[in-house]
């Protein structure tokens, strides 16, 4: 039996990957259960296994969120106590945050496996506390990239690099969607991100402003938030006229299917991308990419082949690289073909084989 433990269910990277883990293991293990925090709706609602909820609530005030987070871990611990799990149950902790599950597993003699998605955890005291829990409780850890493993080493815990997969649905849709610049009538620059400055949203809007006179270029921003959260973060008056903003989506493939390039502009001094899920998904559709020159994206993209690695703080280089795709069709087509080929290295089959080998045969 495997008990998956996760904190916030939405459509961001870590729950999407957890759903892929569940789908990879379901064909070979019928005894899977998911424990997830009570707040949030997202992709895990359709994971296809029994779901049990424990109390969790986020607040827009950081101090209150910290208090409710700690309380949620006590709630998770109690939920595991009441679950009457067999002695051979594996506790699969997704992200560093559900530490209550790791503590329960250690105290009750269960195998604890961590799937680590983050690096940039603040404050530092919280990061040290959470990594210490992993060191004391885990028997194995999965990382999403080699860079992440180097940046956040877990002492004396065996580990495996397990790159995130492209879901079969997105992979198939990507293969069925031919790439051609300006297929929607304009050159569309797509970014999917959380509504946070460190994810590069201000840089994206500034880039749009610098190209506002280009009537053949449009910017599409998909934010992982609901409408009122977006309105609070980006009031209408602050939005350039050439930017269309969409709220949280369950179907990112609809945006990849019309875009001409996908960008990730996370600030390298404030947020290191451990992988870059939207990068790989976009590449499955043959989209050239622009991504940060540090972290997981460096292991996905070769600069000048599938796209460009650019520090989003370098406004001149960012605009220059984008224009080289907008105004050079041959360059865009060449990078599109390379991106589609590279995306095949992140298939669900490869992901499932590595995952099953480590969990069932270690």
CATH number of the structural domain spanning residue 74: 3.40.50.2000
Whether residues 209 and 248 share a domain: the answer is yes
Q: What is the pLDDT of residue 13?
A: 81
Instruction: Taking residues 186-202, report their average pLDDT.
Output: 96
Q: What b/e string do you get for 151-161 counting C-beta neighbours within 10 Å, with b at 16 or more?
A: ebebeebebbe
Q: Cα separation of 289 and 155, whole Å?
A: 35
Whether residues 72 and 199 share a domain: the answer is no
Which residue has 């996908």 as its token pair? 262
Instruction: Taking residues 2-12, report their average pLDDT.
Output: 92
Lowest mean pLDDT among 76-85, 97-106, 122-131, 239-248: 122-131
Q: How many residues does the chain have?
A: 362
Query: If pLDDT is split at 50, 70 and 90, which confidence band does 362 have?
Result: low
Percent of the chain scoring above 90 in pLDDT: 86
pLDDT, tens digit, 9 for 90 and up, residues 39-49 = 888 889 999 99
Q: Containing domain of residue 302, as a range?
A: 168-345
Whether residues 198 and 159 share a domain: the answer is no
Q: What is the pLDDT of residue 10?
A: 86
Whether residues 340 and 351 share a domain: the answer is no
Which residue has 């502009």 as its token pair? 265
Is residue 112 scored above 90 in pLDDT? yes
Whether residues 144 and 278 share a domain: the answer is no
Q: Calculate ∠ Cα 149-250-3, nearest 5°.
A: 50
Whether residues 156 and 29 share a domain: the answer is yes
Is residue 121 scored above 80 in pLDDT? no
Q: What are residue 228's phi and psi, to 5 degrees?
A: -70, -30
Q: What is the pLDDT of residue 280?
A: 96
Whether residues 241 and 134 share a domain: the answer is no
Q: What is the pLDDT of residue 36?
A: 96
Q: β-pairing, 217-223 with 243-246?
A: parallel
Q: What is the pLDDT of residue 65?
A: 84
Structure-model confidence comparison of residues 35 and 39, the more confident one:
35
Whether residues 197 and 334 share a domain: the answer is yes
Whether residues 116 and 77 share a domain: the answer is yes
Query: If pLDDT is split at 50, 70 and 90, which confidence band does 66 have?
Result: confident
Whether residues 36 and 78 share a domain: the answer is yes
pLDDT, tens digit, 9 for 90 and up, residues 215-237 = 999 999 999 989 999 999 999 99
For the chain, first and last CA: distance in Å? 16
pLDDT, tens digit, 9 for 90 and up, residues 318-354 = 999 999 999 999 999 999 999 999 999 999 999 999 9
Crossing angle, helix 329-343 and helix 315-326, to 10 degrees?
A: 100
Whether residues 154 and 205 share a domain: the answer is no
DSSP string, 316-336: HHHHHHHHHHHS-HHHHHHHH
DSSP string, 13-32: HHHHHHHHHHHHHTTT-S-E
Whether residues 319 and 222 share a domain: the answer is yes
Contact 46, 16 (CB under 8 A): no
Q: CB under 8 Å to 232, separation ≥6 — which residues?
A: none
pLDDT, tens digit, 9 for 90 and up, residues 139-169 = 999 999 999 999 999 989 999 999 999 999 9
H helix count then E strand count, the chain: 14, 13
Query: If pLDDT is split at 50, 70 and 90, which confidence band does 86 have?
Result: very high
Q: Total domain count for the chain?
A: 2
């Amino acid at each position: 039996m495997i008990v998956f433990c996760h904190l916030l269910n939405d459509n961001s990277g870590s729950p999407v990957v957890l759903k892929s883990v569940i789908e990879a293991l379901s064909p070979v293990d019928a005894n899977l259960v998911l424990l997830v925090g009570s707040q949030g709706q997202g992709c895990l609602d359709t994971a296809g296994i029994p779901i049990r909820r424990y109390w969790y609530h986020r607040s827009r005030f950081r101090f209150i969120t910290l208090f409710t987070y700690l309380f949620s871990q006590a709630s998770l611990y109690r939920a595991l106590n009441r679950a009457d799990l067999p002695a051979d149950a594996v506790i699969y902790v997704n992200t560093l945050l559900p530490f209550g599950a790791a503590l329960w597993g250690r105290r009750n003699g269960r195998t604890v496996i961590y799937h680590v998605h983050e690096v940039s955890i603040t404050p530092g005291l919280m990061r040290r506390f959470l990594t210490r829990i992993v060191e004391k409780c885990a028997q194995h850890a999965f990382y999403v990239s080699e860079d992440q493993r180097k940046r956040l080493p877990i002492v004396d815990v065996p580990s495996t690099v397990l790159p995130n997969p492209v879901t079969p649905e997105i992979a198939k849709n990507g293969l069925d969607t031919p790439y051609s610049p300006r297929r929607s009538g304009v050159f569309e620059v797509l970014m999917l991100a959380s509504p946070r400055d460190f994810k590069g949203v201000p840089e994206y809007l500034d880039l749009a402003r610098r190209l506002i006179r280009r009537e053949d270029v449009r910017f599409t921003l998909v934010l992982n938030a609901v409408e009122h959260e977006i309105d609070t973060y980006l009031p209408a008056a602050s939005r350039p006229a050439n930017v269309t903003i969409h709220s949280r989506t369950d179907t990112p493939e609809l945006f990849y299917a019309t875009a001409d390039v996908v960008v990730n502009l996370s600030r390298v001094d404030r947020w290191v991308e451990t992988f870059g899920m939207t990068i790989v998904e976009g590449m499955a559709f043959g989209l050239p990419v622009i991504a940060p020159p540090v972290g997981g994206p460096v292991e996905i993209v070769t600069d000048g082949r599938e796209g460009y690695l650019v520090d989003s703080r370098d406004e001149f280089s960012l605009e220059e690289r984008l224009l080289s795709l907008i105004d050079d069709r041959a360059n865009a087509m060449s990078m599109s073909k390379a991106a589609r080929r590279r995306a095949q290295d992140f298939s669900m089959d490869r992901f499932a084989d590595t995952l099953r080998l480590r969990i069932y045969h270690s």
